[in-house]
Amino acid sequence: MSYTGNYQARFASLDDALRNSDQIVRKANGGNSILFSYLPEKEQECISGARQHYGDQSEFKAEFIDISKLLVTFIDKDGWEDFSAYYNDMKPSHIVFKSDDPEEDLFDLIIKAIKTASANGKIPFLIRSGCLYGTGIENVNIMEHRDIMSLQHPLVIFYPSAISEDNIHFLNFKPASKYRCTLVM
């Protein structure tokens, strides 16, 4: 599937933001990150286009970090039965995914994957961020993390959302925080 029309223009805008990444930290109050907004029902088309645009021939070397795969890795670490029991016993349940204890959780896996991509000279592209809904992990938690703020390249978060007037709605229904990074829409 080719990415034509609307996505070509959006990827060109993202390219411009990446070329001027030194301006991101100064201009954006979301730190060293870029939100790439697209309609949730167009996620597969958008990600496919991004993989094509930011492939081996691109001037930008992207590392696609799939949150859905990290979620499965996190659950598989202890097995479904143990995860299910732990999740059902924990109140509030979002602590399972993001906590301050030393045990590695989903949030830790995400930050580690981003740092690894950056250490390898790649621009981290976080995809399938809709998987975060209900985990207690907000995109802003990732953007504000001290390690993300100091990355060599900005973090690009693929953000399934609808935009109406001046409001962004994550997954078309959850109002996004007013804390903003650079927005490509």
pLDDT in tens, 132-141: 888 888 888 8
135: part of which helix (H) or strand (E)? none
- pTM beyond 0.85: the answer is yes
Q: Return the pLDDT at 81.
A: 93
Distance CA 167, CA 115 (A): 30
- Tokens matching residue 158: 């693929």
pLDDT in tens, 70-83: 999 999 998 999 88
Q: Return the pLDDT at 180.
A: 60
Amino acid identity of residue 144, one-letter, is: E
Q: Return the pLDDT at 1.
A: 35
Mean pLDDT by 10 residues, the chain (185 residues): 62 90 59 87 92 89 96 92 86 76 91 96 94 86 90 91 77 65 74
Amino acid identity of residue 3, one-letter, is: Y
Cα separations in angstroms, 109 against 1, 17, 122, 181? 31, 26, 17, 22
Where in the chain are the domains? 6-16+30-160
CB 68 within 8 A of CB 106: no
Secondary structure class of 60 (helix, strand, coil): coil
Distance CA 56, CA 67 (A): 22
Alpha-helix residue ranges (DSSP H) falling in 20-122: 21-27, 43-53, 67-78, 80-89, 106-119
